[in-house]
A and B are shown apart, each in its own frame.
Chain A
Amino acid sequence: MTAMPADELTCKELVELVTAYLDDALPPDERRRFEEHLAACEFCTEYLRQMRLTIGVLGRLPEESISSEALAELQNAFRSFRLPG
């Protein structure tokens, strides 16, 4: 037996549930335990913040646009493809 209530999530367990939590995919009871732990644990709060920041920055990676040669090639293919019948 540990000193913690049997119901309490450990930090080690919490870090594995972050994605399910953010997807709102935890069963209600687990979600409650997740949020109770978070309310009492500044380290897991920081951890969750870092995961959110990570997701945020992933969504801001620069995107490449198509090269003009590749686009011209596709436009040619599109043009040469006739209407049916």
Chain B
Amino acid sequence: MDDSGRHELADIDLVAALQRRDESMFTTVVRRYHGALLRLALAYHPSRAVAEEIVQEAWLAVVQGIDRFERRSSFKTWLFRILVNRARTRAEREGRMVPFSSLVSEAEADDGPAVSVDRFVPADHPEWAQWAGHWMLAPKSWGESPEQALIARETQALIAAAIAALSPGQRQVITLRDVEGWSSGEVCNVLEISETNQRVLLHRARSRVRAVLERHFDVDSR
């Protein structure tokens, strides 16, 4: 969601309005965050129906909890934490997720390199050993201005599929960082992970999406 060019509503006004049951403010807030909440819920639960249910549950929890909101975090962080907690609880109940530590263990697991090793000169190459670790199959240019091709519907469907194919942690982090444009600090806060683990997951996720796009452009240019 793009908030540039528009003032972020001050938390203090927003929360005060919700606490005095200002329904138009509630509607504004729901509309503003719904898309992002749904995307994050989908990062936990690929089933759309389930994801939508989790988002509704999170909003109901907001309604019930707003009078007790203590401003120890921003409203946005509070809201997304509620969603994350619901999504995790549900995943645990369905036995699809190890409680709590799963993001950490996922970040620490060896998940392979950003780019396949066979695209670099191996250390034992008979002729080019002095170039070990340099590109052997270098990335081909995506053209002067690939922006149009990148926002084509077909490409966007490909990207959505690439995100769906990521591991849950990679999906959660890339959704918030790149799709929603959050800062790393905000993401770490909501997902309760360290900067380092967050970066590892983000890097793998981006690298995979880039690889999918690379294959797409490669086929197109033939």
Interface residues of A (CB under 8 A from B): 2-4, 10-13, 15-16, 18-20, 23, 25, 41, 43-44, 46-47, 49-51, 53-66, 70-71, 73-75, 77-79, 81, 83-84
A54 lies within 8 A of B206 (CB)? yes
Which residues does chain B contribute within 8 Å of A77, judged by CB atoms?
59-60, 63
User: Nearest 10 A-B pairs (CB), nearest first?
Assistant: A10-B133, A3-B130, A63-B35, A43-B138, A19-B203, A58-B178, A66-B34, A12-B133, A57-B150, A12-B120
B56 lies within 8 A of A10 (CB)? no
B20 lies within 8 A of A83 (CB)? yes
Which residues does chain A contribute within 8 Å of B141, judged by CB atoms?
46
A81 lies within 8 A of B115 (CB)? no
Given contacts A23-B184, A23-B199, contact A50 B21 (CB under 8 A): no
Q: How far is the CB of A46 from chain B (nearest CB, A)?
A: 5
B14 in the interface, Cβ–Cβ < 8 Å? no
Given contacts A16-B113, A51-B210, A78-B23, contact A57 B151 (CB under 8 A): yes
Query: Which single residue of chain B is at the shortest CB-CB distance from A19?
Result: B203
Q: From B89-97, B100-108, B154-162, give the one contacting chain A.
A: B154-162
Besides A18-B207, A20-B199, 9 other A-B contacts (C-beta < 8 A)? A2-B132, A11-B120, A16-B203, A41-B134, A57-B155, A62-B156, A66-B31, A71-B31, A78-B63
B209 in the interface, Cβ–Cβ < 8 Å? yes
Q: Please provide the chain B residues from 101 to 147 with a CB less than 8 Å away from any CB of chain A in the complex.
A: 113-115, 117, 120, 129-135, 138-142, 146-147
Cα(A10)–Cα(B122), bound, Å: 12
CB pairs A–B below 8 angstroms (28 shown): A2-B132, A10-B134, A11-B134, A12-B133, A16-B113, A18-B207, A20-B199, A20-B203, A25-B195, A41-B134, A43-B138, A50-B210, A50-B214, A51-B206, A54-B206, A57-B147, A57-B156, A57-B213, A58-B209, A61-B156, A61-B179, A63-B1, A64-B34, A70-B56, A71-B27, A71-B31, A74-B26, A75-B26
Interface of B, secondary structure class, is: helix
Cα(A74)–Cα(B23), bound, Å: 10
Q: Please provide the chain B residues from 167 to 222 with a CB less than 8 Å away from any CB of chain A in the complex.
A: 174, 178-179, 181, 184, 195, 199, 202-203, 206-207, 209-210, 213-214
Cα(A79)–Cα(B60), bound, Å: 12
Q: Please provide the chain B residues from 26 to 73 with a CB less than 8 Å away from any CB of chain A in the complex.
A: 26-27, 30-31, 34-36, 38-39, 52, 55-56, 59-60, 63-64, 67
Which residues does chain A contribute within 8 Å of B38, judged by CB atoms?
64
Interface residues of B (CB under 8 A from A): 1, 20-21, 23, 26-27, 30-31, 34-36, 38-39, 52, 55-56, 59-60, 63-64, 67, 113-115, 117, 120, 129-135, 138-142, 146-147, 150-151, 155-156, 159-160, 174, 178-179, 181, 184, 195, 199, 202-203, 206-207, 209-210, 213-214
